[in-house]
Homo-oligomer: A and B are copies of this chain.
Amino acid sequence: MRRRTAGPGATATIADVAARAGVSTATVSRALATPDRVRPELVELVMRAVSESGYTPNNSARTLRTQRSRMVLVVVPSVANQMYAHVLRGIDTGLAPAGYGVIIGNLDNAPNKEGRFVDFAFARQVDGVILLCGFVPGSHGRSMASAGLPMVSILSPIVDSDIPDVGIDDHAAGREAARHLARLGHRRLGYAAGPREHVVDTARWTSFREGALAEGVDPADIVRIEGGEGMRYTYRSGVAAGERFLAMTRRPTAVFCGSDEIAIGFMKVMRDAGVSVPEDVSVMGIDGIEQTDYTHPVLTTIRQPRQDLGRAGAELLLGMMDGRSDAAHRRVRLPFEFLARASTGAPPAEAAGRISQDLAPARMG
């Protein structure tokens, strides 16, 4: 049997290193993994041989033997989305110290891409999965859940499952948004919706509504403004919602948007239509992407600890992959931060409840 010698360009194998150091492959492997179980002189020999040959263990071989790939699949609806991108970054910083790498499963908001990633799971290409998409991917009747891999969801709980999740308290966030707007004096509230049937959107909408009711707002004056089919949490969704808003005969005086991007799209339509924010309509978002610091007016929003969410999810998954099933951490809630800024203010005088309504005729005359 002729062994390929490690010439320049060719990759050295453990056998090359063993030959060069004059020891067996087992010793090389041990010298690298458990140096305390090998005589110091040999460790030294092996180390020299390793650096001389530029040896890096072949990952497939190691994975095949140890049944651990040290890779994690992150399933994300869209990498191009600010929010997901930042969470992804947090995940990476959380996994890196443990030596785990990230394979990105970009759904691109297209449902037919799930199959590829389901295969990744069943092919044992990853040791665990982090979902940012709010559901468990599946295709051809085969769910990723049945691959038997540790799984964690971030940003959204997974309904009807016991998959641990990390996120903020979306209900509290929705209620707080309603409270903020109601306390500014608003009595007609709108919610510029994200994707229909999405867990997070539903949570935000229902709790916004609850919060508004709790503040004594008339149920008929809490409206959901749809953003259009398949537009998800995008600028364009906000644009569509803004156009619907303009077409309304009895407009809300304040609008809570299902995401910051929606809010920004919404504000753009307002500006173009000559409706000023916050004088004519208050607008707020949620997520707290960096961009909200640079809008005009600066956007009131609820900041999610994006990076921390990612890191916490990563650490939770690491624990599960190590077999430490800290049942205590099955539902992690991190605090959000309410940023009351310039895009929300008191309602216009003619819409501000009974007292102002009395003044309204004078203003009109």
Contacts and interface: CB of A to CB of B under 8 A. Distances in A.
A56 B9 contact: no
B148 A294 contact: no
A35 B104 CA distance: 31
A68 B53 CA distance: 22
Contacts of A147: 11
Contacts of A52: none
A60 interface: yes
A84 to B, nearest CB: 9
A279 to B, nearest CB: 15
A345 to B, nearest CB: 18
B268 A11 contact: no
A25 to B, nearest CB: 16
A56 B89 contact: no
A53 to B, nearest CB: 11
Copies in the complex: 2
Contacts of A9: 146, 148
A60 B64 contact: yes
A103 interface: yes
Interface stretch (A75-83, A154-162, A178-186, A194-202): A75-83
B92 A58 contact: no
Contacts of A171: none
A233 interface: no
Interface string A234-265: 01000000000000000000000000000011
Given A96-B116, A101-B116, A296 B294 contact: no
Nearest to A124: B58
A56 B122 contact: yes
Contact of A80 (B10, B89, B106, B123): B89
Given A80-B86, A265-B294, A60 B106 contact: no
A142 interface: yes
Nearest to A120: B101
A33 interface: no
A79 B89 contact: yes
Given A80-B86, A264-B294, A101 B101 contact: no
A215 B59 CA distance: 56
Interface string A50-62: 0000101111110
Interface of A: 9-11, 54, 56-61, 63-64, 69, 71, 78-82, 85-86, 88-89, 92-93, 96, 101-104, 106, 108, 113, 116, 119-120, 122-125, 142, 146-148, 235, 264-265, 267-268, 271, 290-291, 293-296
23 contacts: A10-B148, A11-B122, A11-B147, A11-B148, A56-B122, A59-B60, A59-B125, A64-B64, A78-B89, A79-B79, A79-B88, A80-B82, A81-B85, A85-B85, A89-B108, A92-B108, A96-B113, A101-B125, A103-B104, A235-B290, A264-B294, A268-B296, A271-B296
